[in-house]
Amino acid sequence: MKNRLKEVIESLIFISLEPLTLEKIKNVLQEYPEEEVELAIKELLESYVTNERGIQIIQSAGGYLFSTSPEHDLWIKRLFKMERKAKLSSAALETLSAIAYHQPATLAEISAMRGVDSTHTLKTLLQKKLIKIVGRKKSPGSPLIYRTTDKFLAYFGLTDIKDLPSPEEISKILEKEKDIEEEESSVH
Amino acid sequence: MDASAIYQVKLEVFEGPLDLLLFLIKKKKIDINDIPMATITKEYLEYLNHKEKINLDREAEFLLIASLLIYIKSQMLLPREKVLDEEKDPRQILVDQLLDYQKIKAASLLLRKKEEDELQKWKRTALPSQFQEEETDFMEVSLFDLAESFFSLMQKKEKKKIRTIKGKEFSLEEKMKEIMAILKGNLFIDFLDYFSQQESFEEAFVSFLSLLELIKSRIVIATQKGPFQPIKVMIRQEAYVKRKP
């Protein structure tokens, strides 16, 4: 019985184009106790880790999703005759990171943080649905306020907004930069 | 001339004035909390001076920070009658801004790494549609390409100065039906051909709007083999089955 549940969940995840949340799985499988569903998911995930498979189930933007193994990138690109996937520009990335850490944020706040007018970059990010407008700020001019979307989480493989690189990780990077500089200066 | 060209390229490399400032601070191995204003202002302005022309759209932001630097420098030079207790360091605004920016920049590097990892995992959402897979040679044409072709064609027509007086009015609905009828008879419509056959500007314009409407409702699709290639309009078939030759 439990095995069948596992297989049902596998089908549900397979057929979903967007990350399938635990909530949705539970809704669909309402006749089963929640603990049983959770256990089945756990077993399903484990079976994918232990078996030798080209595809995997990943957790992304608060849900489960099938993806290919990263090692197969080369051949998939060849199948689709693609050189490489388009990456975000560094301006877009910088703007996203400013929003992600200081959301909700207005255009003026984002521009001030970056020291650069970000009107255009925000437009691009909105088009890509990586950010969304969540309302207006109650301040002079009532400017629009922006937040990152679930698509943003999925794009970077984050489960939750709390998954963003932590302040510790960030200061680690900054420390590393410093170390490299010092090494360089000791060489010269 | 040569030197300035190099600097010009360099300025483009920086995301913005804060990025440039951070670069200078690192280069000079300066402690961010104790910036020697004279040195850094001089360095910063030197960079800006190497630009021959100032592009206001982009460089206004660089100038803004330049003026902030000069302002702070002047604040520090001015003698004060009495030093207030816990007087705020005029550099504090800049330091705060730089530290914040530095964090954002470092975070964006970490996000870049995550992006790269994630792009190697293919999801079903990323799959090209069946249509694109069969017709890899064609690219879908954007609205702007269509509009551009249309208006350049209309301009050419206008030059001919053909004036016609017509009482007939064209409706969007009729035109859409007409386009669909042609498409059912033929495999595709050549975009330019079709519009050069239209008699009046009004007719062409209504046809163009009808075509846009059809594209919007995803009934037809406009494709081309590459930039500057003829644009072809055909019926969009989700399950496009191409007979193997």
Identify the structural domains of chain A with CATH numbers, from first to last: 2-74 (1.10.10.10), 90-181 (1.10.10.10)
Which residue of B108, B115, B124 is in closest CB contact with A155? B115
Taking the CA atoms of B96, B98, B104 and B106 in sequence, report the sign of the dihedral they define: negative
B196–chain A nearest CA distance, Å: 34
The answer for residues whose C-beta is within 8 angstroms of residue B39's C-beta and 6 or more apart is: B28, B30
Q: Does A115 touch chain B (CB under 8 A)?
A: yes
Q: Which residues of chain A have pLDDT under 50?
A: 188
B168–chain A nearest CA distance, Å: 41
- Distance, CA of B122 to CA of A77 (rounded, Å): 10
The answer to whether ipTM exceeds 0.90 is no
CB–CB contact A101 B104 (8 Å): yes
What pLDDT shows up at residue B84?
58
What pLDDT shows up at residue A122?
92
- Location of structure tokens 């001030």: A112
Q: Counting every residue, how long is chain B?
A: 245
Which residue is closest to A154 within chain B, CA to CA?
B118
What pLDDT shows up at residue B44?
82
Contact A99, A118 (CB under 8 A): no
- Location of structure tokens 């200081």: A102
Single-letter amino acid code for the residue at B241 = V
Contact A68, A76 (CB under 8 A): yes
- Distance, CA of B146 to CA of B124 (rounded, Å): 30
End-to-end CA distance of chain A: 70
B134 alpha-carbon distance from chain centroid: 29
Q: What is the mean pLDDT of each run of 10 residues along chain B (245 residues)?
A: 43 76 81 80 79 65 84 80 64 86 90 90 64 49 77 72 65 84 80 77 83 85 76 70 38
Contact A167, B104 (CB under 8 A): no
Q: Which residues of B touch A115 (CB under 8 A)?
A: 16-19, 61, 64-65, 97, 101
CB–CB contact A87 B105 (8 Å): no
Q: Would you tell me the crossing angle of helices B143-160 and B201-216 to the nearest 10 degrees?
A: 170
Both structure tokens of A60: 């992304």
Q: Which own/partner contact pairs does B143-150 have at CB distance under 8 Å and 24+ positions apart?
A: B143/B212, B143/B215, B145/B222, B145/B224, B145/B231, B146/B191, B146/B208, B146/B211, B146/B212, B146/B215, B146/B222, B146/B231, B149/B191, B149/B192, B149/B231, B150/B195, B150/B204, B150/B208
Q: How many helices (H) and strands (E) does chain B have?
A: 10, 4
CB–CB contact A174 B102 (8 Å): yes
**Cis amide bond preceding A104, omega within 30:** yes
What pLDDT shows up at residue A130?
92
Q: What share of chain A is helix, strand, coil (3-state, %, to 5)?
A: 55, 15, 30
Interface of chain B against chain A, CB under 8 Å? Answer: 15-19, 26, 29, 61, 64-65, 97, 100-112, 114-125, 128, 133, 136
CB–CB contact B104 A68 (8 Å): no
CB–CB contact B110 A88 (8 Å): no
- Location of structure tokens 């009004």: B202
Contact B62, B20 (CB under 8 A): yes
- Distance, CA of A38 to CA of A26 (rounded, Å): 9
Q: Does A156 touch chain B (CB under 8 A)?
A: yes
List helix spans (H) across A128-166. 150-155
